[in-house]
Amino acid sequence: MGGVEMTDFSVKGRKALVTGGARGIGAAVSEILLRYGASVIVCDQNEAAWGSEDAVSRGLTKHPECLYFPCDISDAGAVGKLGQWCESELGGVDILVNCAGVDDEVDFHAMGVDRFDKIINVNLRGTFLVTQAVYQGMMRNGSGRIINIASQLAYKGSEKKVHYCASKAGVIGFTRALALEAAPHGINVNAVAPGPVETRMLSGLSDEWRAKKLHSLPIGHFGRVEDICATILLLASDQGAFYVGQTLSPNGGDVFL
Q: Are 179 and 244 in contact (CB under 8 A)?
A: yes
pLDDT score, position 205 = 75
List pLDDT tens digits, range 134-154: 999 999 999 999 999 999 999
Q: In what order do the strands lie in the sheet with 15-19?
A: 66-70, 39-44, 15-19, 95-98, 144-149, 187-192, 247-248
Clarify whether 68 is annotated catalytic: no
Q: Are 122 and 45 in contact (CB under 8 A)?
A: no
**Integer Cα distance of 153 and 170 in angstroms:** 12
**Integer Cα distance of 40 and 148 in angstroms:** 16
pLDDT score, position 2 = 54
pLDDT confidence band for 19 (50 / 70 / 90): very high
> What value, to the nearest 5°, has the Cα angle with vertex 227 and ends 239 and 222?
155
pLDDT score, position 7 = 64
**Integer Cα distance of 137 and 144 in angstroms:** 9
pLDDT confidence band for 62 (50 / 70 / 90): very high
Active-site residue, selected from the candidate residues 36, 68, 155, 164? 164
Indicate the average pLDDT of the chain.
Answer: 94
**Integer Cα distance of 248 and 39 in angstroms:** 24
Per cent of the chain over pLDDT 70 is 97
Q: What is the mean pLDDT of residues 172-194?
A: 98
pLDDT score, position 5 = 59
pLDDT confidence band for 1 (50 / 70 / 90): very low
pLDDT score, position 204 = 79
Q: Indicate the range of 68-77, 86-95, 188-197, 201-210 predicted with least confidence.
A: 201-210
What is 9-248's CATH superfamily? NAD(P)-binding Rossmann-like Domain (3.40.50.720)
pLDDT score, position 6 = 54
Q: Are 140 and 119 in contact (CB under 8 A)?
A: no
**pTM for this entry:** 0.93
- Backbone torsions φ then ψ of 22, nearest 5 degrees: -100, -10
- Is the pLDDT at 159 greater than 70? The verdict is yes
What is the residue type of 117? D
pLDDT confidence band for 164 (50 / 70 / 90): very high
Tell me the H-state helices in 125-246.
Answer: 126-141, 153-156, 162-182, 200-203, 207-216, 225-236
What is the residue type of 196? P
